[in-house]
A and B are shown apart, each in its own frame.
Chain A
């Protein structure tokens, strides 16, 4: 248990407050599910590294895992915001497909150019399409007061259906070469473009959630919408903005998907929503709203990807990954419930694990 190595000075009077502030920070950081989940992920990675040091612990393999997470991570950022408002989004996979389809169709109409002009128009079209679906979700949820689960289940079907109507159910493959070469398979200093783009989106997501008024209001709206109305926050408009943001990111994910697979992958994204929601929840975002982190979501998405990758390398049936991820998901929600119950009782969850970072721990 005592793996703790921090050299704790004997607290002098003036150091006490600074020390307790640091320890509070540390304690809260460790208590945050996001940090615990990082340790879980590191443990998984460590096990695979020991079992298969050559194949798993390899730069190319790390690239594979990161690439497979990128598109999900972009969706995960928007979904984290939505779930923090105590909402849910089931439509993102279909919006991704729809955005890819309209983008590809527009680029096809523009002729056979493989250049940036066409590609940029395609990107803009995909983003606008995603934004439009997000606005539809948001307006129906905030103004028409239809529950988010129902609205996004509806748009999940509608967006996919419309994509199939537009294409006759056959995948489109019109993607300018520049998009495929730069975004889909390009890389910078050995890091794939997809990973770089996803990292930028995740970073912006973290900053927006942690540091801006938009992020603060997202947590507040998920925590107590009536209280927010009373202090003059326009709750309806904020919800619409959050769903619009998620839609916009789904549109971006549509571009990335199109560039990577060079296809609209109409049939391939019906379960993306569940993968993303699982990642968000494993990452410590509460389905009841109010708390969550984009960083946790990203780690929560890395766990299934790492498991799948490791199982393949070890020759374990990859289907086991679904079993393990299912268990993780239930475990994550269980711990969230325990924490909420503890918060309701007004006590803090002080697990043995978090107590090792507490300077006043009684057993030391």
Chain B
């Protein structure tokens, strides 16, 4: 883990009509680190992630990637820099199989005329895809069945593994375990650790405080569109986090 942020947001503002969703938010993630983003409903977590994923533009503020300012106009701008996002609602195509989902929008085409005609390197995608899933420890037993028939945990693992396979620098996970049981949650947590160990910066949004304390290196607390606190996970506790989220600890602003 290094201390230089790979991805940094400075003084981000974002309003929807009269609602000021983000007011001068600063945020940064470092390589090989899990940064948690917590806050009550409406604190601005999802807005911040959407902005950093390129899904919507900020009204003001600077975004730096590897220390260089750049402008995101669409999700592709983020993706080409190795920044991937797993949204709450999965975004897998349920009728396709795990491999097709992994390569959706990034299919490997056959060389030459066949590729121009739209034919894909199916064998190559299948082999590479299997390797990726296996190396991330995502247990997929059926690579050629539609993901609709798989369990919630498996689908979440596929969605996370897909993002991890393409993310070379930063991965945003918006509530990756919200709908999962205990065992499945543990599977996704292990997956997150493996992604972190690859040197990728992980941003985890979660409502589960114990989970956040367990896995994160740093915890950023948002409240009413501001980052009100930032803690090292080892040096904080549940009460402090809840206090910062709800405003009971005003005055201890670390941001």
Question: Which of B10-18, B28-36, B117-125, B242-250 lies at the interface?
Answer: B117-125
Q: Tell yes or no: A82 within 8 A of B by CB.
A: no
Question: Which of A42-50, A57-65, A155-163, A219-227 lies at the interface?
Answer: A219-227
Question: Which of A103-111, A209-217, A316-324 lies at the interface?
Answer: A209-217
Bound-state Cα–Cα, A215 to B95, Å: 13
A216 touches B95 (CB 8 A): no
Q: Tell yes or no: A315 within 8 A of B by CB.
A: no
Q: Tell yes or no: B65 within 8 A of A by CB.
A: no
Q: Tell yes or no: A231 within 8 A of B by CB.
A: yes
> Can you list, as one digit per residue, whether each of A325-357 has a CB less than 8 Å from chain B (1) or not (0)?
000000000000000000110111000000000
| B235 to A: closest C-beta gap in Å | 36
Bound-state Cα–Cα, A290 to B90, Å: 16
Give the nearest-CB partner of B154 in chain A: A346
B96 touches A216 (CB 8 A): yes
Majority SS of interface residues in chain A? helix
A216 touches B94 (CB 8 A): no
> Can you list, as one digit per residue, whether each of A268-307 has a CB less than 8 Å from chain B (1) or not (0)?
0000000000000000000000110000000000000000
Residues A346 and B95 in contact in the complex (CB < 8 Å), given A212-B119, A213-B118, A231-B104: no
Q: How many residues of B contact A (CB 8 A)?
A: 34
Bound-state Cα–Cα, A340 to B117, Å: 32
Q: Tell yes or no: B142 within 8 A of A by CB.
A: yes
Q: Tell yes or no: B71 within 8 A of A by CB.
A: no
| B83 to A: closest C-beta gap in Å | 13
Residues A344 and B148 in contact in the complex (CB < 8 Å), given A223-B93, A226-B91, A231-B105: yes
Collect the chain A residues with CB atoms within 8 Å of residue B109's CB.
213
Q: How large is the interface on A (under 10, 10 to 19, 20 to 34, 35 or more residues)?
A: 20 to 34
A343 touches B107 (CB 8 A): no
Q: Tell yes or no: B75 within 8 A of A by CB.
A: yes
B146 touches A343 (CB 8 A): yes
Collect the chain B residues with CB atoms within 8 Å of residue A346's CB.
149-152
Give the nearest-CB partner of B152 in chain A: A346
From 184 to 224 in chain A, residues with beta carbon under 8 angstroms from any chain B beta carbon are: 208, 211-216, 219-220, 222-224
Bound-state Cα–Cα, A348 to B152, Å: 14
Collect the chain B residues with CB atoms within 8 Å of residue A220's CB.
93, 95-96, 100, 104
Q: Tell yes or no: A168 within 8 A of B by CB.
A: no
Collect the chain A residues with CB atoms within 8 Å of residue B75's CB.
230, 232
Bound-state Cα–Cα, A213 to B149, Å: 23
> Can you list, as one digit per residue, whether each of A220-255 has a CB less than 8 Å from chain B (1) or not (0)?
101110111011110000000000000000000000
B119 touches A211 (CB 8 A): yes
Contact of B149 among A215, A216, A290, A343 (CB under 8 A): A343
B105 touches A228 (CB 8 A): yes
Q: Tell yes or no: A112 within 8 A of B by CB.
A: no
From 132 to 166 in chain B, residues with beta carbon under 8 angstroms from any chain A beta carbon are: 142, 144-146, 148-152
| B230 to A: closest C-beta gap in Å | 29
A224 touches B92 (CB 8 A): yes
Q: List 29 A-B contacts (CB under 8 A).
A: A24-B142, A211-B120, A212-B118, A212-B119, A213-B119, A214-B118, A216-B100, A216-B104, A219-B95, A222-B95, A223-B93, A224-B91, A224-B93, A226-B89, A227-B91, A227-B104, A230-B55, A230-B91, A231-B104, A232-B79, A232-B106, A233-B104, A233-B105, A291-B95, A291-B146, A343-B149, A344-B148, A346-B152, A347-B149
